[in-house]
Chains A and B, each alone.
Chain A
Amino acid sequence: MPKLTLSVNGQPRTIDCANATLLVEAIREHLGLTGTHVGCDSSQCGACTVHVDGRSVKSCTMLAVEAEGAAITTIEGLATGNDLHPMQAAFKEHHGLQCGFCTPGMVMSACDLAARNPAPSEGEVRHWLEGNLCRCTGYHNIVKAVRAGAGDMNGGK
């Protein structure tokens, strides 16, 4: 089995995994980080979204071996100690989550949007979240949370 060396939430990690292993499988099963979820099998739902070298990626669309040498950030890597990341805090503040299953992917995707666009409009948020499905919230409060979180990330606080 090939050895894979990568950085995960700021820590160097080396794992053995088969060539066919998806990045999401490596994250969940080899690294034990179960905050990243699998909600579909067609790269549509976005529950598996993580950051690879700072950009949001659906980790079901990538082989783990493609992440050799990359810096991966998962939902577990966002908060600083007890302090939630501003996007996480905004989701709580605006009731942007219900069952929580899509939430890690939503938050990771939203952080990437906020990095590219510090003040996204409602329409821009809705368009950006095209690749993230939520069945609970009707998106209403997610959109509010993402806009507020983007503001807070970009010095709005």
Chain B
Amino acid sequence: MGNAQGIGAAVKRKEDRRFLVGRGQYTDDVTLPNQSYAVFVRSPYGHAKVNGVEAKAALAAPGVLAVLTGADVAADGLGGIPCGWLVKSKDGSPMVEPPHPALAQGKVRHVGDPVAMVIASTKAAAKAAAALVEVDYEPLPAVGLLANAIAPGAPQVWDEAPGNVCFDWHIGDPATTDAAFAKAAHVVELDLVNNRVAPNPMEPRAANGNFDGANDQYTLYTTSQNPHLTRLLLAAFTLKVPEHKLRVIAPDVGGGFGSKIFHYAEELLVLWASRRVGRPVKWTSDRMEAFLTDAHGRDHISNAKLALDANGKFLGLRVHTYAAMGAYLSTFAPAVPTYLYATLLSGPYDFPAIYAEVKAIFTNTVAVDAYRGAGRPEATYLLERLVEKAARQLGMDRVELRRKNLIRADQFPYQTQVALQYDIGDYQATLDLALEQADYAGYAARAAASKAKGKLRGFGMSTYIEACGIAPSALVGALGARAGLYEAANVRIHPTGSVTVFTGTHSHGQGHETTFAQLIADRLGVSTDQVEVVHGDTDRIPFGMGTYGSRSASVGGSAIVKALDKIVDKGKKIAAHLLEASVADIEFKDGQYRVVGTDRVKAFGEVAFAAYVPHNYPIETVEPGLEESAFYDPKNFTFPGGTHLVEVEIDPDTGVVEVASVTIADDVGVIINPMIVDGQAHGGLAQGIGQALLEEAVYDAEGQLTNGTYMGYCMPRAADLPNFKVGNHVTACTHNPLGIKGVGEVGAIGVPPAVINAVLDALAPLGVTDISMPATPEKVWRAIQAARAGKGA
């Protein structure tokens, strides 16, 4: 396309300046005239009856405007927090979908469940008064751990969910899978746990609600990845006021990673409280509150069996998974361990048979929902741990076993046994690229050098695929989604040729203000400086479903391209008039309309000006103005994939695992901005390595979160991570106009099993065969001690 700022250019980010000079505007930075502040009284118990709430002392405290409880929520008819996805059990029955009142009514079901809301004129006053609210709790038996919740006789989170089962779902063909196992030469079995992690965007959630009684208008500032979805849920289910009276603004948002997709009770409550007290009401989570109330990720217990023939060809896969839901169903929770997990169990491999069963289980914890990768990391971890174990058990080379079973480039489109159809990929190419960039051939020498230092070196890999670009509306509708998952865009060309793009996606670190400007620059030949990208405000943007599931470039970008197509086409008609030529003879290239085969041209800016000053204009057939909207509904998921390679060095005396190198080769489709794409990969890798080595949200049996601060929850720090080697091999997605697949989640999906496989490779000479995430120094040290003791005995 020839534009130095177009597709493929590493343009520096337009949004950086405001963040670098301290002029970003995050939700907590917004303070409205006459602002008041809310603090929540939250359950300290995993499960309890609430016999009463005594607010007299709090109400009498200085500055207090109101103390609101579940009874007020009920009296005012606020709706419960809805779930956005209905999954049906094997027998066709719908999942158990318990009520989720915004403030507890009669019972609390996890630590952090909100019981009362104190509103005061200052945050300090609200905090002080919250301590005066007396709640009469009657503790009930609680179940904080998934492993305990599935045991016979476990405490019941919900009376209507016997055995704590939310749904019992399956996918694939049990008969062909049984047949595959019956003829297998080898069966490899693995039990594993996918550890619960807390998302931890650096900006804690916040919400500031303002009800303007004079105009009957509600405005919500909120830390959301999808303000239109939040508005839709507020309008249709919770606040129950129509969209035209409700404006949701997600200004600068400091990271999300999934946790800011969901509609949270606080968003509803600040709007409602503002109506009650007649002042804007702001709530800002502190970090401990974030640990207790932001939806967590992962938390699976699985058993997996792989059937292979005598040559190592995969014949079948059988998986049984228990997936924690928490106490309440968060917005997309049921979709994560089903349609984003089990449908990915074929991985990048040619599997003739797969059968997977998933039981979703209630626990007395905060909800589990989508966290960077959402289901796909769990599938990848299971599969790549299992494949690695197979290589070891069969005495086969780990690379060759994978290579033998990868779907070949000539097999696309490839229909899996678990519903998905992969459009395109070249998994051999990413495997080769990664091995070359990691100098795999030199590994033995590096291992020897580590050994000479008294360290244990290990090599681990994963070949993975994911499904993103979420998602075809009709397909997800058939699978239980209660919303469409298209995207919307509006492209406004101004009279002097500058451009404003309104997108329904939301940037909270992804750099859309730059990459979407590059799409415009690429197509219209304008500079990115001439383009403003607007997101995050339901009053300015036609509609949108927001940013998650690596959908913004592939789905949101495609909507922008569709709008641009309309702009270019309309411009052709204007240019034909100005150039006194037939529309069919006009071509648009490099920012110019040209009569084909001539030097008669009109610059795009001239055409834009004519559209707004239509003196010499085809006014009979073409409306003035140059602005177009488009909605784009994807035809399929997109399927990024690749190979992640990790080398670790373990100190056998301390159990400390040092990540010595991380080399990845991904196929994320066409790349708009390689600088931003690499940055997305880096961030995903850090979260994936964090899950593998450092992070775990640890509940105890009674549902107390034992490590809900940065003193207890081990976030990856700079010194925990190496530099990353990132490579790309592009096959263009076949079904969207840009050929984009998506990069937001690949790091978090591909790398955890590569890390653990590397740890186990390092420990294999000692006889260690299994270790769970996170592989902390203590766990590694204990595994080494146990192996040595076993050998010595």
Q: Are B721 and A138 in contact (CB-based, < 8 A)?
A: yes
Q: Are A143 and B17 in contact (CB-based, < 8 A)?
A: no
Distance in Å from the Cβ of B722 to the closest Cβ of chain A?
9
B709 cross-chain contacts in A, Cβ below 8 A: 40-42, 44
Interface core residue of A28, A76, A92, A129 (most chain B CB under 10 Å)? A92
B28 cross-chain contacts in A, Cβ below 8 A: 34, 38
Q: How far is the CA of A107 from the CA of B23 in the complex (A)?
A: 14
Distance in Å from the Cβ of B109 to the closest Cβ of chain A?
25
Q: Are A99 and B201 in contact (CB-based, < 8 A)?
A: yes
Contact segment of B171-179, B247-255, B624-632, B767-775: B247-255
In the complex, whether A102 has a CB less than 8 A from a CB of chain B is: yes
Distance in Å from the Cβ of B666 to the closest Cβ of chain A?
14
B678 cross-chain contacts in A, Cβ below 8 A: 95
Q: Are B20 and A92 in contact (CB-based, < 8 A)?
A: yes
Q: Are B509 and A44 in contact (CB-based, < 8 A)?
A: no
Q: Are A39 and B204 in contact (CB-based, < 8 A)?
A: yes
In the complex, whether B412 has a CB less than 8 A from a CB of chain A is: no
In the complex, whether B612 has a CB less than 8 A from a CB of chain A is: no
Beta-carbon contacts under 8 Å, B686-712 to A: 686-687, 709-711
Q: How far is the CA of A34 from the CA of B13 in the complex (A)?
A: 22
Q: Are A92 and B16 in contact (CB-based, < 8 A)?
A: yes
Beta-carbon contacts under 8 Å, B85-132 to A: 124
In the complex, whether A62 has a CB less than 8 A from a CB of chain B is: no
Q: Are A84 and B17 in contact (CB-based, < 8 A)?
A: yes
Q: How far is the CA of A74 from the CA of B21 in the complex (A)?
A: 9
Q: Are B255 and A76 in contact (CB-based, < 8 A)?
A: no
Q: Are A92 and B12 in contact (CB-based, < 8 A)?
A: yes
In the complex, whether A56 has a CB less than 8 A from a CB of chain B is: no
In the complex, whether A68 has a CB less than 8 A from a CB of chain B is: no
Q: Are A138 and B724 in contact (CB-based, < 8 A)?
A: yes
In the complex, whether A157 has a CB less than 8 A from a CB of chain B is: no
Beta-carbon contacts under 8 Å, A7-22 to B: 18, 20
Interface core residue of B19, B23, B286 (most chain A CB under 10 Å)? B19
B679 cross-chain contacts in A, Cβ below 8 A: 95, 98, 136-137, 140-141
Q: How far is the CA of A92 from the CA of B18 in the complex (A)?
A: 11
B596 cross-chain contacts in A, Cβ below 8 A: none
Q: Per a CB cutoff under 8 Å, which of B21, B22, B203, B715 touches A99? A: B203
In the complex, whether B591 has a CB less than 8 A from a CB of chain A is: no
Q: Are B724 and A37 in contact (CB-based, < 8 A)?
A: no
The size bracket of the interface on A is: 35 or more
In the complex, whether A125 has a CB less than 8 A from a CB of chain B is: yes
Beta-carbon contacts under 8 Å, A52-71 to B: none
A125 cross-chain contacts in B, Cβ below 8 A: 718
Q: Are A141 and B22 in contact (CB-based, < 8 A)?
A: no
In the complex, whether B503 has a CB less than 8 A from a CB of chain A is: no
Q: How far is the CA of A99 from the CA of B507 in the complex (A)?
A: 8
Q: Are A141 and B16 in contact (CB-based, < 8 A)?
A: no
Q: Are B12 and A93 in contact (CB-based, < 8 A)?
A: yes
A101-B683 contact given A35-B21, A37-B254, A138-B721, CB 8 Å threshold? no
A41-B255 contact given A134-B202, A141-B682, CB 8 Å threshold? no
Q: Are B682 and A74 in contact (CB-based, < 8 A)?
A: no
A37-B26 contact given A42-B710, A75-B21, A99-B203, CB 8 Å threshold? yes
B791 cross-chain contacts in A, Cβ below 8 A: none
In the complex, whether B80 has a CB less than 8 A from a CB of chain A is: no
B715 to A, closest residue via Cβ? A133
Beta-carbon contacts under 8 Å, B394-423 to A: none
Q: How far is the CA of A129 from the CA of B686 in the complex (A)?
A: 15
Q: How far is the CA of A125 from the CA of B709 in the complex (A)?
A: 25
A107-B202 contact given A95-B675, A95-B679, A133-B715, CB 8 Å threshold? no
Q: Are A137 and B719 in contact (CB-based, < 8 A)?
A: no
In the complex, whether B155 has a CB less than 8 A from a CB of chain A is: no
Interface core residue of B15, B201, B203, B684 (most chain A CB under 10 Å)? B203
A35 cross-chain contacts in B, Cβ below 8 A: 21-24
Q: Are A34 and B29 in contact (CB-based, < 8 A)?
A: yes
Q: How far is the CA of A156 from the CA of B381 in the complex (A)?
A: 45
Q: Are A75 and B718 in contact (CB-based, < 8 A)?
A: no
Q: Per a CB cutoff under 8 Å, which of B286, B509, B719 touches A41? A: B286
Q: Are A101 and B13 in contact (CB-based, < 8 A)?
A: no
Q: Are A135 and B200 in contact (CB-based, < 8 A)?
A: yes
Q: Are A84 and B710 in contact (CB-based, < 8 A)?
A: no
Q: How far is the CA of A125 from the CA of B510 in the complex (A)?
A: 25
A79-B21 contact given A99-B255, A129-B717, A139-B721, CB 8 Å threshold? yes
Distance in Å from the Cβ of A39 to the closest Cβ of chain B?
5
Q: Are A135 and B201 in contact (CB-based, < 8 A)?
A: yes
A138 cross-chain contacts in B, Cβ below 8 A: 682-687, 716, 721, 724, 747
Q: Are B22 and A75 in contact (CB-based, < 8 A)?
A: yes
Q: How far is the CA of A37 from the CA of B177 in the complex (A)?
A: 54
In the complex, whether A104 has a CB less than 8 A from a CB of chain B is: yes
Q: How far is the CA of A103 from the CA of B716 in the complex (A)?
A: 16
In the complex, whether B557 has a CB less than 8 A from a CB of chain A is: no
Distance in Å from the Cβ of A143 to the closest Cβ of chain B?
7
B711 cross-chain contacts in A, Cβ below 8 A: 42, 44
In the complex, whether A142 has a CB less than 8 A from a CB of chain B is: yes
Q: Per a CB cutoff under 8 Å, which of B252, B288, B685, B710 touches A133? A: B710
In the complex, whether B257 has a CB less than 8 A from a CB of chain A is: yes
In the complex, whether B393 has a CB less than 8 A from a CB of chain A is: no
Beta-carbon contacts under 8 Å, A70-126 to B: 74-76, 78-79, 84, 88, 91-93, 95, 97-104, 107, 122-123, 125-126
Q: How far is the CA of A135 from the CA of B682 in the complex (A)?
A: 10
In the complex, whether B496 has a CB less than 8 A from a CB of chain A is: no
Q: Are B202 and A142 in contact (CB-based, < 8 A)?
A: no
In the complex, whether B508 has a CB less than 8 A from a CB of chain A is: yes
Q: How far is the CA of A43 from the CA of B286 in the complex (A)?
A: 12
Q: Per a CB cutoff under 8 Å, which of A41, A79, A103 touches B19? A: A103
Q: Are A98 and B675 in contact (CB-based, < 8 A)?
A: no
Per-residue A-contact encoding for B496-510, CB less than 8 Å = 1, 0 else: 000000000000111
Further 14 A-B residue pairs, CB within 8 A, beyond A133-B717, A137-B679? A37-B26, A37-B202, A42-B710, A44-B715, A45-B202, A98-B511, A100-B254, A104-B22, A127-B719, A130-B719, A135-B255, A135-B686, A136-B683, A140-B682
16 contacts between A and B (CB under 8 A): A37-B26, A40-B287, A41-B286, A44-B715, A76-B21, A79-B20, A95-B676, A98-B679, A100-B18, A101-B202, A101-B255, A103-B20, A135-B202, A135-B686, A138-B724, A140-B682
The 3 A-B residue pairs with the shortest CB-CB distance, nearest first, are A35-B22, A101-B254, A100-B19
Q: A interface vs B, CB < 8 Å?
A: 18, 20, 28-29, 33-42, 44-45, 47, 74-76, 78-79, 84, 88, 91-93, 95, 97-104, 107, 122-123, 125-127, 129-130, 132-143
Q: B interface vs A, CB < 8 Å?
A: 12-13, 15-26, 28-29, 31, 124, 200-204, 252-255, 257, 286-288, 508-511, 675-676, 678-679, 682-687, 709-711, 715-719, 721, 723-724, 747
